[in-house]
Amino acid sequence: MNADKLDMERIRQAGRIIRDGGLVAFPTETVYGLGGDALNAAAAEQIYSAKGRPCDNPLIVHISRLEDLEQVAASIPQKALALAEKFWPGPLTMIFEKTEKVPGETTGGLDTVAVRMPSHPVALALISAAGGFVAAPSANTSGRPSPTTAAHVREDLEGRIPLILDGGPVHIGLESTIVDMSVTPPMILRPGYITRQMLEQTAGAVAVDPGLIREESAVRPKAPGMKYRHYAPKAQMTVVHGAREQMVKEICRLVAEAKSRGEKVGVLASEETKDRYPDGLIRSVGSRQEELTIARGLYGALREFDHLGVDVIYAESFVTEELGQAIMNRLKKAAGQRILEV
Ligand code: AMP
Ligand code: MG
């Protein structure tokens, strides 16, 4: 979508709602966001209550111009500027020491603030219309899969917010990469479309939060939101990990077993394997040849299983070179870390 196709009147209306302290859902290139004025403590509180989100889980502040960064970030390392030049607008969130201007309600009581400049034209236009600083978590009920279409937002938030801007299906489908720039070396707190290799080409060595690498361990992730069971469908999900043939075979066996117990079963498969399962409700998330289709399809497929009322889901695993890190991070969380190695 280009800027002249935007419904500017609706965006101005949305901007007014946010400036008056209200909330609006809007598209970004990652997932749909639920936006409120980031500098207004009461708006942040409203966001937590609309989502049912724990208030120790800080919000990302969205800006539309690089020059606005210094209003919310107290100290901006040179490396952060280089990363902003390279990846903004885009799916990268950076964490800085916060300024006085940012209320503790927005940052979940932390002295740091997470900032991102999204690339979606509707998001950029809305942020400007709203005064420049929009706090926006994903526009889902807390704990449910993030919304990748306006229909997903309506499912969760219809009647709870005055306006939902519809920008069609999103481009990426997974939340932004989060990098903590307040530590040396910078540290990835949440994997996303921008990979560690991409960051290191611009910023040198980048660490990964130990709480992310060993998710099943007792190490607490640094991003407060990463500790919650997140992105989750209602059914109990298990990820089956292994070589393709073994994986398919094991899922077929598990499906037959679950059916004999009288359970309704869903299978999260790929274009390449979806015809290999004789039984159960099979959904392809996307093609293994094109990782982005898997990222884009994941949350929608999990929501579809909710609609179908399945009791259990068996998911193939999607470990790959690039986006695979981010995809597996979300998949394992949705499964409450239930992984079966075959
Ligand atoms: P969401 O808004 O749903 O994409 O979630 C935002 C994520 O960013 C959550 O996991 C938060 O815990 C994390 N986050 C936001 N601000 C900070 C911060 N200042 N320090 C660490 N993590 C943060
Ligand atoms: Mg979220």
Whether residue 231 is contained in a domain is answered as no
* pLDDT tens-digit map of 37-56: 999 999 999 999 999 988 88
Ligand 1 atom having least distance to the Cα of 137:
2
pLDDT at position 5, please? 58
Ligand 1 atom having least distance to the Cα of 138:
3
- pLDDT(24) > 90: yes
The residue-averaged pLDDT of 138-164 equals 95
Ligand 1: residue of 72, 190, 209 to mutate (most ligand atoms within 8 A of CB) is: 190
Ligand 1: residue of 60, 93, 183 to mutate (most ligand atoms within 8 A of CB) is: 60
Ligand 1: residue of 32, 95, 188, 229 to mutate (most ligand atoms within 8 A of CB) is: 95
Full residue range of the structural domain in which residue 313 is found:
236-341
Asked whether residue 290 falls in the same domain as residue 209, the answer is no
Beta carbons within 8 Å of 224's beta carbon, 6+ residues apart = 56, 57, 58, 108, 110
Asked whether residue 210 falls in the same domain as residue 311, the answer is no
Asked whether residue 22 falls in the same domain as residue 85, the answer is yes
How many C-beta atoms surround the C-beta of residue 268 within 10 A? 30
The residue-averaged pLDDT of 151-165 equals 96
* pLDDT tens-digit map of 167-182: 999 999 999 999 999 9
pLDDT at position 4, please? 46
pLDDT at position 17, please? 98
If you measure from the C-alpha of residue 121 to the centroid of ligand 2, how many angstroms do you get, rounded to a whole number?
Answer: 21
How many C-beta atoms surround the C-beta of residue 1 within 10 A? 11
- pLDDT(226) > 80: no
User: What CATH number did the domain enclosing 22 receive?
Assistant: 3.90.870.10
The residue-averaged pLDDT of 114-124 equals 98
Whether residue 224 is contained in a domain is answered as no
pLDDT at position 272, please? 96
Interatomic CA distance for residues 59 and 134, integer angstroms: 10
pLDDT at position 324, please? 87
Q: Pick from 214, 247, 262: which residue ends a domain?
A: 214
Ligand 1 atom having least distance to the Cα of 176:
4
Question: Highest mean pLDDT range out of 5-9, 85-89, 139-143?
Answer: 85-89
Instruction: State the pLDDT confidence band at 218, using cuts at 50, 70 and 90.
Output: low
Asked whether residue 268 falls in the same domain as residue 300, the answer is yes
Using alpha carbons only, what angle is made at residue 161 by residues 157 and 166, rounded to the nearest 5 degrees? 75
* pLDDT tens-digit map of 281-294: 999 999 999 999 99
Closest ligand (CA of 143): 2
Asked whether residue 56 falls in the same domain as residue 192, the answer is yes
Q: Of the given ranges (142-146, 198-202, 244-248), which has the lowest mean pLDDT?
A: 142-146
Whether residue 220 is contained in a domain is answered as no
Whether residue 22 is contained in a domain is answered as yes
If you measure from the C-alpha of residue 217 to the centroid of ligand 2, how many angstroms do you get, rounded to a whole number?
Answer: 22
Q: Pick from 214, 244, 271: which residue ends a domain?
A: 214
If you measure from the C-alpha of residue 34 to the centroid of ligand 2, how many angstroms do you get, rounded to a whole number?
Answer: 10
User: What CATH number did the domain enclosing 313 receive?
Assistant: 3.40.50.11030
Whether residue 227 is contained in a domain is answered as no
Asked whether residue 149 falls in the same domain as residue 98, the answer is yes
If you measure from the C-alpha of residue 140 to the centroid of ligand 2, how many angstroms do you get, rounded to a whole number?
Answer: 7
Ligand 1 atom having least distance to the Cα of 57:
12
Whether residue 155 is contained in a domain is answered as yes
User: Three-state DSSP class for 92?
Assistant: strand
Question: Highest mean pLDDT range out of 3-17, 50-64, 224-238?
Answer: 50-64
pLDDT at position 3, please? 47
Find the distance separating the first CA and the last CA of the chain, reported in whole Å: 44
Closest ligand (CA of 30): 1
Nearest CA to ligand 1 atom 21: 223
Closest ligand (CA of 191): 1
Asked whether residue 97 falls in the same domain as residue 29, the answer is yes
Whether residue 46 is contained in a domain is answered as yes
Whether residue 221 is contained in a domain is answered as no
Asked whether residue 176 falls in the same domain as residue 283, the answer is no
User: Three-state DSSP class for 276?
Assistant: helix
- pLDDT(138) > 70: yes
Nearest CA to ligand 1 atom 13: 223
Asked whether residue 199 falls in the same domain as residue 88, the answer is yes
- pLDDT(221) > 80: no
Ligand 1 atom having least distance to the Cα of 146:
3
Nearest CA to ligand 1 atom 4: 137
For 129, the enclosing helix (H) or strand (E) is helix 121-129
Q: Of the given ranges (20-24, 209-213, 230-234), which has the lowest mean pLDDT?
A: 230-234
Q: Please give all residues whose beta carbon lies within 6 A of any atom in ligand 1, as ranges.
A: 57-60, 95, 107, 110, 112-114, 137-138, 175, 178, 189-190, 222-226
* pLDDT tens-digit map of 237-252: 999 999 999 999 999 9
Integer angstrom CA distances of residue 109 from 98, 103, 105, 179:
11, 8, 6, 19
User: Three-state DSSP class for 178?
Assistant: strand
pTM over 0.85: yes
- pLDDT(97) > 60: yes
Asked whether residue 245 falls in the same domain as residue 332, the answer is yes
Nearest CA to ligand 1 atom 15: 58
Asked whether residue 192 falls in the same domain as residue 301, the answer is no
Asked whether residue 46 falls in the same domain as residue 178, the answer is yes
pLDDT at position 319, please? 85
Average pLDDT of the chain is: 93
Q: Of the given ranges (59-68, 151-160, 296-305, 331-340), which has the lowest mean pLDDT?
A: 331-340
The residue-averaged pLDDT of 337-342 equals 92
- pLDDT(321) > 90: no
The tally of domains found in the chain comes to: 2
- pLDDT(229) > 80: no
